[in-house]
Structures are given as structure tokens and as C-alpha cells.
Structure 1
Amino acid sequence: MEKAGDKDVTLKINRKGNIIYEKITPILSNEDEYKIGIWVRDSTQGIGTITYYNPSTGNYGALGHGIVDVDTSELMTVRTGKLLKSNISCIKKGERGTPGELMGIIIDTARTNFGSVIKNTGYGIFGKLNDRYKKSIQTPETDIALKEEIKLGKAYIYSDVLGDGIEKYEIEIQSVNTLSYDISKGVIIKITDKRLLEATNGIVQGMSGSPIIQNGKIIGAVTHVFVNDPTKGYGIFIENMLKEEKKI
């Protein structure tokens, strides 16, 4: 706006999928600056968990749900993004009616930049890992289980909630809904691991994307917590994330 001064500017606007152009005249404000009176969300950041890395494509999938604008609840369009390391500093435990949260510091340096964020969707965020980070991955490849293979009962999630590294925590799969209209809520899980319950009271923000493993296969990822019961939450089927990954 400083360069445009009082000259008309043309804005390109994406309104629910329709591209429109609007001409606007900047106005000199009380601060002696030219403004056009629009509110723009130009960036966002947060803590979440990588669900998987696909060695055949070099892509990763994370979160299991989309990143939405905090004010409009609309899915945010990504132009560019970075996958960065975070250090967990403390845990806000979940309580009935108030979701908990992993709190920490996001470190933005060349050494802590693990890859790019290419796409933000209802199935999660997707992108490419950089070569240096791919070489550091030591976990073995894991088969996937389709939703028809998922059984009620014991399973595990893998998550780093204490900042000391990835840990395995026991959960119980209580429901499987293969026809769920909400793509990120295919399974209902309950945290049963005493260590995790002691640390967080259950599922907290930042654990989204934690992979769910049953019978040695990855079946999905943690996506949401029940607001009125932090020990319970939802998960997305891994096959849904993999189908979306193919589109990038």
C-alpha cells in the first residue's frame, strides 16, 4: 500500500472457489499511512505430530485433520510452509470441558527445517521431507491396515509428549465407523496407558497426527479429543490420508 499511495489497487479474491477481482482506492489513515481496510491472515503456526513418511514418494502426512483459521473456522490455503522442530516445555493437562495442550518453542533454523508444507486438507497436512532428515529416520517400515481390518480392543499410539523422544502408549479402540461422514473421525479411541494419563490426562492438542498401531500395522492417526472426556478421542483411517497424499 505504501508503494501504491492513493492509486487504485486491484485485488484477486478467492471467494468459496470463485476467483473475482475488485478495484479498491487506498485511503490516508490517521497514522498518515495509506490503507484499504482489509484484514489478512498471512501466516500461522502450531505444534503437531508427523503420522508417517512414505519412502516411495518422499512425502509425509501429519495431523490427520486440517489447519483452520482461528477466527473464521475456514480451512486455510497454504502457499508455502515449513516443517520445523519443536521443543516441548510444558504440558497443560486436559480437563472436562477444557482441552489440554502441549506447549513449546518452535525452532526455525536451517538445521531444524525438516521439510516443506505443500497442502493443507481435511485429511491433514502433506509435504516433502528434505534429504538430510530422511537419512536420519531409523524406524522400520510398517504395513498399513485397511479400515475393514481394524478390531475393537487394544492398540497403541506413538507420540512425544514429554519432549524426551517418541514413546509407545496403550489405548483401546472402542468404535469403528467405516461410513463416517466426517473423514477425520473414523474411530473412537480411549487412552488406557497410566503413564500418559498421569502426564496429560488423556489426549491434548499437539498429539494430533500420532500414529495408531494395531497388530503391528498402522491403522490411522489421532485427530480430536472429546471436550467432555479428555481420555477419549477420534482418529482418521490411514488409507484416507494416503489417498489424499497421492494428490500432491
Structure 2
Amino acid sequence: MRRFLSLTAFLLTLTLLPVQAQEKTVILGGDTIAITVNYEGVYVSGMYDFEVKGETLSAAKEGTVQVGDRIIESNGRAVTSLEELFANLKTLQKERNQVPVTVIRNGQREAASLFVCYLESEKVFKTGLYVKDKIKGVGTMTFYDPSTKTFAALGHEIAEEGQSHPADVTMGQIFEATVVSVRRSTSGNPGEKICQSESLVPIGTVSKNTIYGLYGKVQTLPSAAQSVPVASREEVTVGPAEIYTVIQGTTPKRYTIQITEVRKQNGQAVKGIQFQVTDPALLNQTGGIIQGMSGSPILQNGKLIGAVTHMVTSQPDNGYGIYIDWMLEEAQSE
């Protein structure tokens, strides 16, 4: 019995030695990025009327394709880009054509008809549709994970104007961008970053567009890498904090904010952090939050706690952020 007790005491002594928990760290973002993402197929973004020999025609009346449809087949041929759709239409010879197409509508494949008018005198086709195969925009990088070379940006989805769900895109690319000027936000009128991107070489590829942000991989990590620990949502408190973003050029700077509300969330959700911009320089330059700031890291007590996602339109110095917990979950499932 004594030997057993002695051995037990010895083992307990070993387990009570101090163990240092390893804190998760990432490379801080804050840099502005130009984003291009591709649709799988061709997206119908709008319609217009046009005249042929004095008659007003429209896609809405003559065909069954609808705004919001994504055309993936035309005349039995796959459509993955505008070029492929136009190549299919060039084979038509009639003045007026009803082309069978397959569309994705509300997540389901459906058969539809596309009205196409060929104008012999002008050698052009008219469909009455506004279509595109890409979405382009500007946002802010939130972080890079050095262990996987995964990036996370925006903190919210890329969506078509007027749509509340993520655009159904397949993949895309991100590029370095420079902020050349800003348009200030005023009550009821969101401002924006005015950017340019001259690089033809992407710094990363986009593979996932979700309501919690944009995710993908980078070939190389930033040369001026700044590592920062991440905080769980339980660590976030009401009080002083900072956002890290670019207002001019390419270098991010820290700007003070005041976190005014911390919402308890037990699962992935948006708008967990509410804040007010307090930094005089940022307020003077931007009026508060502007478009293109989405994804800007939020820091508190030296840790990354979240990312800017939304502004309050009527009070542009007020905004919302997503907890970094949820963005890390998305990045880890990448």
C-alpha cells in the first residue's frame, strides 16, 4: 500500500508542473485588395427594351429568362463565360430566335428560353439582357494564417446589389491595390475608398464566398509580416479598441474606436461587435466607416478580436464587426 501511495504522489507531482498554453497567432492584414470573382456561367443582372423595325421588344416579354438567373447552357452547349455565350449566339441566322437555355434559379436547374434578335444590317445580336460573368470590387484583408497560407477578408459575403445571399461564384483572384482618394460618408450616403490596381499578377486565389467573409490561399506571405495573437469572443469587452486600415496609399494605420456593445453569440453569426469611431483623423478624412473598409482588423489589448463588416447608414461613425472566432472557423475549413 505504501509503495502505491508513493507512486501516485510522484505521478501527481509530474502532472502539476506548469504548462504554457500555445496562443493562436496570425499575420495581421489591413491592406486594401482588389477582388475579382467568377460566376459559374453568365449572370443576368438586368433587362432593357430595344427597337427593331419600329417595334419595341424586351427579353421579359419575348423569353422566360429572369433577372437573377445564371445561364449555364445555351442550345445544349455549356456556358462558362460571356465569350462562350456569344460564340453560341453567333451561330444563329434568323432575325428572331428562341434559344433553349438552362439556368440556375433559386439554386435549382431550370429550362428557359432566351430571346435573341439578329440585326443583319448592323451584324449584331440583341437580347435585352444585361449579363456578366465576373464581380469586381475592393475590400480589406483581415488576416493571413502562416501555417496554411490561408487568407480571410471582408468579414461578409460578396453579393449582387439588392441580394441578401452570397453570390454563387466558383473562384477568383485578389490583387494588391492602392487607395488614391476617399469619398467621405455622410448621413444616408455611404462613402468609399477610390482605389486602383495596376498589377496583373494575383497575390492569392479565392475559393470560398460566405456570409462570414472571403477565403482562399496565397502563394507567399506578406514581406512585412506582423504577427498578432487572436482573442476569443469571450475576451472582447466594451471599451477602447482600434481598427487597422488603409486610407491613403498602401500602408495600414491604426485608428481609435470605442466598442459600445458586445453581443453574446454561441454560434457563427454577424454583427457581434458594435462600435463608434472616435479617432479625429479618421473622422476628418472619411466621416467614419466607408465602403472598402470591410474586413479591416479590429484590435483590443494587442489582440485581433474581429473585423469591420457594416456601417450604420444614418450614423456613419457607427459600425459593426464580426468576431474573429467565426472567421477563423471558416478559414480552418478552407
Tell me the TM-score range normalised by the shorter chain.
0.7 to 0.9
Q: Does structure 1 residue 98 correspond to structure 2 residue 189?
A: yes
Please, which of 237, 241, 244 is the counterpart of residue 151 of structure 1? 237
Bigger Cα Rg:
2
Please, which of 141, 158, 176 is the counterpart of residue 67 of structure 1? 158
1:163-194 CA-partner distances (Å, limit 9, x unpaired): 25111111111001124999331110111111
Within-5 A mapping of 1:182-201: 183-201=269-287
Number of aligned positions between the proteins? 243
Question: Counterpart in 2 of 1:173?
Answer: 259
Within-5 A mapping of 1:225-240: 225-240=311-326
| In structure 2, distance between residues paired with 1:190 and 1:139 | 25
1:39-64 CA-partner distances (Å, limit 9, x unpaired): 42322212210000011221101010
Higher deviation after alignment, 20-29 or 98-107: 20-29
Please, which of 73, 80, 92 is the counterpart of residue 171 of structure 2? 80
Q: What is the DSSP-based 3-state SS (H/G/I as helix, E as strand, rest coil) of the residue aligned with 1:81?
A: strand
1:231 offset after TM fit, Å? 0.9
TM-score by length of 1: 0.87
| In structure 1, distance between residues paired with 2:172 and 2:265 | 32
Q: Does structure 1 residue 115 correspond to structure 2 residue 201?
A: no
1:75 offset after TM fit, Å? 2.4
Give structure 1 stretches of 5+ with no counterpart.
none
1:37 offset after TM fit, Å? 4.8
RMSD value, Cα = 2.4
1:71 offset after TM fit, Å? 5.1
| In structure 2, distance between residues paired with 1:50 and 1:58 | 13
Q: Which amino acid aligns with 1:123?
A: Y
Q: Which amino acid aligns with 2:226?
A: T
1:104-123 CA-partner distances (Å, limit 9, x unpaired): 2122422xx21111121111
| In structure 2, distance between residues paired with 1:4 and 1:123 | 43
TM-score by length of 2: 0.66
| In structure 2, distance between residues paired with 1:196 and 1:92 | 12
Q: Does structure 1 residue 18 correspond to structure 2 residue 108?
A: yes
Query: 2:157·2:166 contact (CA, 8 Å) conserved in 1?
Result: yes
Q: What is the DSSP-based 3-state SS (H/G/I as helix, E as strand, rest coil) of the residue aligned with 2:169?
A: coil
Q: Which amino acid aligns with 1:139?
A: Q
Query: 1:2·1:33 contact (CA, 8 Å) conserved in 2?
Result: no
Query: 2:178·2:248 contact (CA, 8 Å) conserved in 1?
Result: no
1:26 offset after TM fit, Å? 4.3
CA change 1:159–1:201 in 2 (3 A) is: same
Question: Counterpart in 2 of 1:242?
Answer: 328
| In structure 2, distance between residues paired with 1:187 and 1:228 | 18
